[in-house]
Amino acid sequence: MKIVVLDGYAANPGDLNWDELKALGECTIYDRTAPGEVLKRSADAEVILTNKTIITAEHIAALPALKYIGVLATGYNIVDIGAAKEHNIIVTNIPAYSTASVAQMVFAHLLNITSQVQHHSEEVHKGRWTQSKDFCFWDTPLIELQGKKLGIVGLGHTGMATARIAFGFEMEICAYTSKSPLQLPHGIKKMELDELFAKCDIVSLHCPLTDATREMVNARRLALMKPTAIIINTGRGQLVNEQDLADALNCGKIYAAGIDVLSQEPPLAANPLLNARNCYITPHIAWASTAARQRLMGIMLNNIRAYLEGKPINNVAK
């Protein structure tokens, strides 16, 4: 069996290994693959593994040996699922491998914004504490999370993990979710989306990207929010209209944003959020802890082994 990994560097930049995958067949691993290289590199492959390299209907039609596409991520919109079904190709994803890490990043951003950790550390290193007339100094508001309303948009694995952490901070938790109020854990209040944006102190995005959720954070909804409100996005960049968010931050309509994902990655230098006021951006790393990537590799191997046994799991092209 010929296995080709099209863009293995992101999941494994060298701190993990591919030995167990190599044991399953003839295996070629590329760090990155440009669009024009996909067909040449995938020729005669039965199994293709991809993280962000797009597999189109044209690719699928031109690869007669292809039987299995493994997406090394939870989202699988990079693969033309309709074409895969048409050609009876199994497509698997990696569900729930980074839940704990993503929820941790939500609070990394939230604690940095509310306690201004990065800012005050930088000021100390500039010498401002040594020059202080008092035993301490701060020059930004320091915000306590206890009692604040956290609105979670999407109460799946990461949304629920985020809620569990928020309980520890004694926050009030609201959620926009398809679950009925009877399905929600005690302490989580269901809200409609506009109500959640209007009433919550913090809104954290955990929903999938669909036609209905694309740019759900826009000028109209931002205008509903408190001027002290904070937005956290560890979901998908396209959930946010980036110009509208930058405008809201710059004119003080909302207080701050913590962002791990952007609509285009790497971002264009002209992305308005890069220079927006009180906008804290990490480069799509919420998923990338060592533990999460180890789980990803393990699930990837289990997916392929199940396929070889004729009992595929995590198949999103049924």
Q: Are residues 10 and 89 in the same domain?
A: yes
pLDDT tens digits for range 168-178: 999 999 999 99
Residues 294 and 236 in one domain: no
Q: Can you give the CATH number for the domain in which 114 is found?
A: 3.40.50.720
Q: Which residues contact 48 (CB under 8 A, 6 or more apart)?
A: 3, 4, 6, 42, 55, 63, 66, 68, 69, 70
**Total of domains in the chain:** 2
The answer to whether position 314 is within a domain reads no
Average pLDDT, the chain: 97
Q: Which residues are catalytic?
A: 236, 265, 284
Beta bridge partners of 141: none
Query: What pLDDT, on a 0 to 100 scale, did the predictor assign at position 44?
Result: 95
Q: Which residues of 14-40 are buried (b: 16+ CB within 10 A; e: fewer)?
A: eeeebeebeeeeebebeeebeeeebee
Domain-located, residue 20? yes
- Do 34 and 161 lie in one domain? The reply is no
One domain for residues 70 and 185 = no
Domain span at residue 16 reads 2-95+290-308
Tally of CB atoms within 10 A around 71? 25
Q: What is the pLDDT of residue 144?
A: 98
Residue 317 lies in a domain: no
Q: Mapping DSSP to helix (H, G, I), strand (E, B) and coil, where does residue 258 land?
A: strand
Query: pLDDT tens digits for 256-310?
Result: 999 999 999 999 999 999 999 999 999 999 999 999 999 999 999 999 999 999 9
- Could you read off the pLDDT of 183-199 as tens digits, one per residue? 999 999 999 999 999 99
